Amino acid sequence: KNYAPWPGLVADPKTATVKMPSNRNQVFHWIFFFGTDNFAWIEENNLKQYGPFKEQMISKYMPQKVTDIKKKTLPAAVEQIEHYIKEKEKNSKFKPYDTSDLEFDRILNEKPVVAKKRKTADKSTSSSTSKKTRNSNDISAEFNDSTLFKTTNDTLNSAAIIDSNFDFNDEVRDEEKKIMDLKAKSVVLDAKNIKPLNKKIGFLGVGKMGAGLVKNLLHSKHDVTIWDRNVERCEQFKEINATVAANPEDLVENTDIIFSCLSEPRVSRQVMYSNCGAKKSLNSSKGYIELSTMSIEVSLDLSGPIKEVGGRYLEAQIQGDISQANEGTVIFVTAGDESLFYEVQSCFQAMGAYSYFISSNIGDACIMNLALQNLKATALVGLAESMSILDRFKLKFNDFLEIFDRSQMQCEFLRSKHQQIMGKKYENQLTLKYLQKDINLTLDVANQIKQPLLVAANTNEILKQAIRKGYSNLDSSAI
């Protein structure tokens, strides 16, 4: 908007004195600007990290290419953020602004709430209050490390609200802090003897699932360029010969086959269409493979720009969890361009155990995947309810598992979830919030065709209840 990029800090949204814009298609953060000492709500796609982009931005915009008023202010702003970084190292609680004035302004601008009289007494006041508690990690946790000239992420990284009645141990609470050993090669991958594709591979998103997939591509000698909203997350992949792109546009421009593995459909659309998005570098030579779970509508929407320029599009939905992605044993359910499916077989072999081509109709793989996720979620809820009965009657979980293993119901998925519930060791393999997102997508699809899914609807409510209690970022077995 005719302004030079400006050094800022992601501030606590609770201190905001202005209401956040109500644009559902954008995620906003409350930003403090150095130099001008003011605040504003800024769209997420307009933010970059300070460290990695510092030299590029300063050399481009300071001081000769900005207006006179900015000449005076921008150097001062850079000086202030550098001072802040040094002070933050000495004192982790140091803030570049006075929060007391912000709190006063916020209270001043708040509208008084008129309490309504209650018709009847309610004995469950405490329980109803607790249900309204939100998990602070849900405030764009996926973007908490990807801001313009940002130097810290402490304001968006507060711990999840955990139900005090639930007995989590330290290992569970520290699960989010675990770092994957990227240099450790999968034993399964070693036995595959893969001949790498002689093309440049791009990979958008190296989160919990994407990290394992990229690791296996690199260990199988593929030429891989990566990008993630969390720049620090990308840096560690340089140790195993990954190239890091500055943005999705840059990644697509410099690669031939692009894989996209992002947290949710909204993010997939942002990466495609936003400023410096993938769309700007698409052409007829590109192949685009969407790994993110999504609905038919979103998949068709993403395929549009690719087909318009003569490129090839393939949806490849992942069946498997984080550990399987790390081991290279996930299953890919695909639909779309069949020639692209066969061309990237070496990639599928490196990342997974099997790959299936369902049809050329975009959306078919999405529906197949949602049907499988629906079965997975409803079975998990059934297991949890069965174990709650055993718990009430003081029967042994080990006896249940032994009988289960010898029955026709036995399967590795439920067995592993049983062990996690029994031991209260929730190593995050199938994140609760993402499973609930998949069930919600399934219900949306069913609603469009007027197909009742009564069990799925009840399962969704159980998952949402667990999320409200603060288990959002834990494994789904935490239900």
Per-residue pLDDT of 314-329, as tens digits, reads 999 999 999 999 999 9
The answer on 372 and 280 residing in a single domain is no
335 and 447 in a single domain? The answer is no
Note whether residue 242 is domain-resident.
yes
Domain count across the chain: 3
For the stretch 405-436, pLDDT in tens is: 999 999 999 999 998 888 877 777 889 999 99
Q: How many CB atoms lie within 10 A of CB 324?
A: 21
Residues 376 and 254 both lie in one domain = no
The reply to whether 355 falls in a domain is yes
| Most confident stretch, 59-73, 160-174, 342-356, 401-415 | 342-356
The CATH number covering residue 70 comes to 2.30.30
End of a domain among 360, 379, 414?
360
Better-predicted residue by pLDDT, 209 or 150: 209
0.75 exceeded by pTM: no
Structure tokens at 302: 């993403």
Does 151 score more than 60 pLDDT? no
Q: Within a domain: residue 429?
A: yes
Structural domain including 23 reads 8-102
Of 117 and 96, the one with more pLDDT: 96
Cα dihedral across residues 91, 92, 96, 98: positive or negative: negative
Q: Is residue 169 part of a domain?
A: no
Q: ω into residue 75 within 30 of 0, thus cis?
A: no
25 found inside a domain: yes
Q: Look at residue 437 in the predicted model and tell me its pLDDT.
A: 93
Same domain for 422 and 326: no
Among residues 58, 86, 102, the one where a domain terminates is 102
What percentage of the chain carries pLDDT values higher than 90?
50
> Is residue 403 classed as helix, strand or coil in its secondary structure?
helix
Answer whether residue 384 is part of any domain.
Answer: yes
Mean pLDDT for 222-228 is 97
Residues 372 and 472 in one domain: yes
Residue 128 lies in a domain: no
> Nearest 5°: CA angle at 10, between 8 and 11?
110
Nearest-CA neighbor of 156 among 271, 348, 12? Answer: 12
Q: Is the same domain home to 332 and 439?
A: no
Domain limit, last residue, from 61, 78, 102: 102
pLDDT at residue 317, rounded to an integer: 97
Half-sphere exposure of 144 (CA within 13 A, CB side): 18
| Start-to-end CA span in the chain (Å) | 46
Whether 146 contacts 231, CB under 8 Å: yes
Q: Are residues 315 and 445 in the same domain?
A: no
Do 393 and 354 lie in one domain? The reply is no
Q: What is the CATH number of the domain that holds 417?
A: 1.10.1040.10
How many angstroms separate the CA atoms of 15 and 12, rounded?
6
Q: Choose between 468 and 181: higher pLDDT.
A: 468
Q: Are residues 258 and 346 in the same domain?
A: yes
Q: State how far the Cα of 379 lies from the Cα of 265, in Å rounded to an integer.
A: 25
Q: What's the CATH number where 314 sits?
A: 3.40.50.720
pLDDT band at 96 (very low <50, low <70, confident <90, very high): confident
Domain check: are 313 and 200 in the same one? yes
Q: How many residues does the chain have?
A: 479
Nearest CA to 379 out of 354, 406, 416, 324 is that of 416
Provide the pLDDT for residue 104.
46
Strand intervals (E) in 184-299:
200-204, 223-227, 243-244, 257-260, 287-290
Place of tokens 């929730």: 426
> 64 or 261: whose pLDDT is higher?
261
Q: Residue 157 domain-assigned?
A: no
> Mean pLDDT across the stretch 48-52?
84
Q: Is the pLDDT of residue 182 over 80?
A: yes
Instruction: Output the average pLDDT for the chain.
Output: 81
Among the ranges given (176-180, 187-191, 211-215, 247-251), the one the predictor scored with the smallest mean pLDDT: 176-180
Question: In terms of domains, do 342 and 456 share one?
Answer: no
Q: How many CA atoms lie within 13 A of 458 on its CB side?
A: 8
C-beta of residue 112 within 8 angstroms of C-beta of residue 179: no
Domain match, 267 and 387 both:
no
Q: What is the pLDDT of residue 49?
A: 86
